[in-house]
Amino acid sequence: MVLPYVFFLTVFSYAAVAYGFDVKGLQPLQPNGVFSTFSTSTNQAGVFSTQFELEQSVDPTFYQINSSLSFAATDEIEASATLPYHLKTGESGFEDAAIGIKYRFIEEGQYSPSVAALLAGAMPTGRDVVGTNGSIGGGLIASKKIGPFKTHVNALAYHPFKHDLGTEVDLMLGAELQAANNLSVLTEVQTKKSDDVNRFDYWDWKIGYRFRPLDFLYTTLSAGYGFKTRSPDLHIFLSFTIIYPPAGKILKYIYEEEKE
């Protein structure tokens, strides 16, 4: 139980250089994703979850607080929303509030991945210095268990409504390995074509843990390096995800229905 927290504190202590954040956008909620990479998994119908994430970039220091929630309308369809708050001297404020719907339309087979479509957009709620006047976009998500690893691939694109910005393209690969009954090791690689350039100019790698101390609580600790300039951007993450009803109650409901 102590190992994930030791990892987080160690990374925090030795963090060194950074330069800032891109627009955050819609984020997956644990355990249905790997950091910023969505999986095709959804919660069971009727399950609500909320997530709070603190992201810190070190020296100089920037903070980003991301609040997310989701609701599973069916076992295959889940709606979610994310509201990021960017905290930096002279640039603090809310980013655009992002909303989206994920629909898994192909289940995983013996040799084929499960596939989901994501439709997402953002409302123009953010300050000019941290917002894009809203956006629309989405893409495809694929998930497949390969050996002991669960792997996820995302190909997403978003077009901002601010007239001087172009389309942002995100390509992400995430993987998770269950190290114990309530502990998974996570890693992610991301490349992005930002909305103000015509090439893939941002690369990011993260590694961390997802820990479930309680049936209804997930804690995720991670560190990552992003490269957009010659200096790497070291950032650390801490998130808490609460699920209701908890997994234990869901199993209880299923058991009682089967008895009837």
Question: 185: which 2 tokens?
Answer: 């090791």
Identify the residue with better confidence: 34 or 57.
Answer: 34
Distance, first Cα to last Cα, the chain:
38
**Per-residue pLDDT reduced to its tens digit, 6-28:** 444 443 333 333 333 466 889 99
pLDDT at 45 over 70: yes
Domains and CATH numbers, the chain: 3-259 (2.40.160.40)
- The confidence band for 157, taking pLDDT boundaries of 50, 70 and 90, is very high
Give the model's pLDDT for residue 250.
53
Q: Contact 130/94 with Cβ under 8 angstroms?
A: yes
pTM for this model (two decimals): 0.83
